[in-house]
Amino acid sequence: MGAVVCLWAMLLPVTSSLENHKDKVSFLTRSLKLYSPIQIGALGVLLFTGAFQLTDLKAAYRELFVKQLGYNLGIKLLVAFFLVLFSVYQCMGIAHRFVKRAEAGDMITSQEFDSIVVRLRSSNGLVLILALVTLWFGLRLRS
């Protein structure tokens, strides 16, 4: 979740504060090359810790598992599915394609760059909301 907040609070505002279009493209390219692997890695940690937690909870609750935790777990898994879906879209569908184009030397116009930033902002907001909801339901499973 730290990478998502960092993109929203630091990287995108700095990108818009730069004057030169070439500097904007270069800065965002370097930033997204670091951001995407961290974000995808964090998704892996989310999934594995959730699976480990689920195994422990099953052992603790035994036959009461579905009655006690079924609803919260179902909602958390559904939200986590959409979190993974939108995070991968952000990292691979937007960021990775942008970085590959920029590294290949393709000319990225100012309008294309602005469109990419808008898509990153909107997908990042959605990812942040889904991450917070997933965290909230995960914490409810422990109480």
pLDDT in tens, 72-122: 778 888 898 999 999 999 999 999 999 999 999 999 999 999 999 999 999
Task: Check residues 35 and 8 and name the one with the higher pLDDT.
Answer: 35
pLDDT score, position 119? 93
Please name the residue that has the structure tokens 């993109």: 7
Is-above-0.85 flag for pTM? no
